[in-house]
């Protein structure tokens, strides 16, 4: 967590008081076993999580098929963002792909920190803008790119996923069959 906040501090100029407050409030430990769910459909997301160890996936089911929409791994954040923001019941599963150690901050505490520290609000806006740009790029890739192009772009952007995430979930994320992903990997 210190490394993550240190990187934010350098990039977004967070004050020492802001960092200290975040460290004090972002302190709830969550330990998940492999395949354990953090959030399931119908639950309301009340925490933002920092992944210390392990890998996670965010997915929903459609026509009895699991559709992966995102992953988290060490030094990244995860939550069911629509549920966290709107406080509506989740439509997603958030699942550990391996043993995970997380630190969580309650939504109220996080929003209190955003209100108390203008620089944190600016930082959060920048992080959400980056995430939105990434989601738009992913949508373009899903709509216009071939399976090979999607695979190559993911390999270039996030090669570490292939170390943490089972191939069948990466295939789902890329909207292709696991066999197709296997063939593409074999050719590269």
Looking at residue 11, its pLDDT comes to: 75
How would you write the pLDDT of the chain (188 residues) with one tens digit per residue?
A: 767 777 677 777 888 899 899 999 999 999 999 999 999 999 999 999 999 999 999 999 999 899 999 999 998 999 999 999 999 999 999 999 999 999 999 999 999 999 999 999 999 999 999 999 999 999 999 999 999 999 999 999 999 899 889 999 999 999 999 999 999 988 87
Do 73 and 149 share a domain, yes or no?
no
Looking at residue 3, its pLDDT comes to: 74
SS3 63: coil
Do 58 and 128 share a domain, yes or no?
yes
Helices in the chain by DSSP H: which ranges? 2-12, 16-25, 81-86, 107-116, 118-144, 147-157, 161-164, 167-173, 178-187
Do 124 and 80 share a domain, yes or no?
yes
Looking at residue 79, its pLDDT comes to: 95
Do 127 and 150 share a domain, yes or no?
no
Residue burial 131-143, b: 16+ Cβ < 10 Å; e: rest? eeeeeeebeebee
Looking at residue 87, its pLDDT comes to: 97
Q: How many residues does the chain have?
A: 188
Do 72 and 155 share a domain, yes or no?
no
Find the domain containing 7 and state its range: 2-132
Instruction: State the total domains in the chain.
Output: 2
Quote the tokens at residue 22: 């975040």
């Amino acid at each position: 967590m210190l490394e993550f906040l240190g990187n934010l501090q350098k990039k977004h100029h967070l004050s020492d008081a802001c960092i200290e407050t975040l460290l004090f409030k972002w302190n709830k430990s969550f330990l998940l076993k492999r395949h354990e769910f953090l959030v399931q459909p119908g639950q309301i997301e009340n925490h933002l999580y920092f992944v210390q160890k392990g890998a996670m996936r965010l997915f929903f089911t459609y026509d009895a098929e699991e559709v992966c929409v995102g992953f988290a791994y060490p030094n990244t954040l995860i939550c069911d963002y629509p549920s966290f923001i709107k406080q509506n019941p989740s439509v997603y599963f958030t699942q550990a792909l391996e043993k995970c150690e997380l630190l969580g901050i309650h939504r109220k505490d996080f929003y209190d920190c955003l209100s108390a520290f203008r620089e944190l609000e600016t930082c959060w806006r920048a992080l959400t803008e980056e995430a939105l740009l990434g989601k738009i790029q992913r949508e373009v890739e899903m709509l216009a790119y071939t399976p090979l192009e999607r695979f190559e772009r993911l390999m270039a952007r996030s090669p570490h996923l292939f170390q943490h995430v089972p191939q069948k979930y990466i295939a789902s994320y890329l909207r292709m069959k696991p066999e197709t992903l296997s063939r593409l990997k074999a050719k590269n």
